[in-house]
A and B are shown apart, each in its own frame.
Chain A
């Protein structure tokens, strides 16, 4: 089955530690995204990548870093500079639809990783 996997499901970070969240997709999508979700605040875009070896900052990129070395993978590192990292992190990818002339892509999401601070 095609889809997006995120690991781990839960992640604990100690003070001053960098942690990396994994995101893998086998949908053959070019674009991938990382969102942060806090209670009552909806989704906020951290980083996105439209193609391999390229990525752009989203609305809340400070304290985060990403890489896109492979089409299938878009790992997110939460650095020690991120002072309030406790949140639910969602990875997504987007790809073209099946309709003729359909330029707009559809976005699909992984199951999420919950990051907690010890």
Chain B
């Protein structure tokens, strides 16, 4: 069965420090992977996605993610965190023959210390 695990419920980083949010997936076929960000009281915004090709994917707001098939991981990174990056981050895998089934992790809450 498909599943997504985000091992870190909450992470705190200082402004300007680097960030890595972990995501592990379980899926038998080629995974389609997504990262979303959610600010308080808002909907989810797509940060980036991986379908195929280059395993290092660039997204919006200076984020990137690296797909590692051997580790079943799709970790999100940012070299220097800004206070406005404080939010909830969700990893998701797309699956199914129709291409429109999605499975989400439980999210990682990011706090940024000034």
Give the B-binding residues of A (Cβ under 8 A): 4, 6, 30-31, 33, 40-43, 50, 88, 90, 92, 94, 96-97, 99, 102-112, 114
Contact = CB atoms under 8 A, between A and B. Distances in A.
Interface stretch (B12-20, B59-67, B71-79, B103-111): B103-111
Given A42-B105, A96-B99, A107 B34 contact: yes
Contacts, number: 59
Given A42-B105, A96-B99, A97-B51, A110 B43 contact: yes
Contacts of A30: 100
Contact of B46 (A33, A50, A104, A108): A108
22 contacts: A30-B100, A40-B9, A40-B106, A41-B106, A42-B90, A42-B105, A50-B98, A97-B51, A99-B51, A99-B52, A105-B94, A105-B99, A106-B49, A107-B34, A107-B94, A107-B100, A109-B36, A109-B43, A111-B43, A112-B42, A112-B43, A114-B41
